[in-house]
Amino acid sequence: MGIARPIASVGRFVTDQVGDLGKFTVFSGHTFRWIFTDFTRWRLLRAQLYEV
User: pLDDT at residue 52 above 70?
Assistant: no
In order of 22, 41, 44, 48, 49, the CA distances from 52 in angstroms are 45, 17, 13, 6, 5
pLDDT score, position 2: 65
Q: What is the pTM of this model?
A: 0.39
In DSSP notation, 1-27 reads -TTHHHHHHHHHHHHHHHHHHHHHHHH
State phi, psi for 3 to the nearest 5 degrees.
Answer: -95, -25
